[in-house]
Amino acid sequence: MPRVKKFNEEETLNKAMCLFWRNGFHATSMQDLVNYLGINRASIYDTYGGKKELFNKAFEHYRTVNRKQLQAFLESQKTVKEGFRRLFQHGISEAVCDTEHRGCFVINATMELVPNDDEMLSVVKENKAFMIGIFQDFLQSGIDSGEISAEKNSRNLASLLHTFYNGIKVVSKADANEEDLLASVDTILLLLD
């Protein structure tokens, strides 16, 4: 007779995501997962596989949620320039309020696992391409509407703005100086004039 699960899989995946995000893959032991998730090892293995499989699922969950939020956010913006300003300001605000200095889970995993994990390298590259694509589409909408000059290269700008956004996340882990970061936002957005 199969065992009945006594836990919510999505809630447990969210908790695992938070633990891996805070501690990283290597610093999170299976016992840490058992303790933090409040379920036994057998349930973890039966439901998610091993630690690596659970990490991969938690990492995918993080990316999926963030992609949906980013797309919805950008689609709700009235102008491209103000949309990027608000996106960067939101990222800075998150960093300033993040007392655990977690930063971005994708960046953390990249720094910890790439280049030694080919599977993770592939996922990170795909994530980068996706993010640049979202930024490029948003920029192109500004070019199409006349807000941004048609002479601008949306692909190059998207790549630069993606790098800048990730840079905010990295720099703010060590020093979330809101004033300096906002000044950098003002400077980089001059490229859209």
Q: What is the pLDDT of residues 68-103, one digit of tens each?
A: 999 999 999 999 999 999 999 999 999 889 888 888
Q: How far apart are CA 85 and CA 168, in angstroms?
A: 13
| Topology of the domain covering 1-59 | Arc Repressor Mutant, subunit A (1.10.10)
Measuring CA to CA, how many Å separate 74 from each of 17, 40, 58, 113?
A: 25, 41, 24, 30
Per DSSP, helices labelled H in 76-190 are 80-97, 105-113, 118-145, 154-174, 178-189
pTM of the model: 0.90
Check residue 1 and give its pLDDT.
43
> CA dihedral in degrees (130, 136, 139, 141; nearest 10)?
-90
| Angle formed at CA 189 by CA 171 and CA 148, multiple of 5 degrees | 145
* 192 pLDDT more than 80: yes
The pLDDT confidence band at residue 173, using thresholds 50, 70 and 90, is: confident
How far apart are alpha carbons 152 and 138 in whole angstroms? 13
Architecture of the domain whose range is 77-192: Orthogonal Bundle (1.10)
Domain ranges, ordered by start, for the chain? 1-59, 77-192
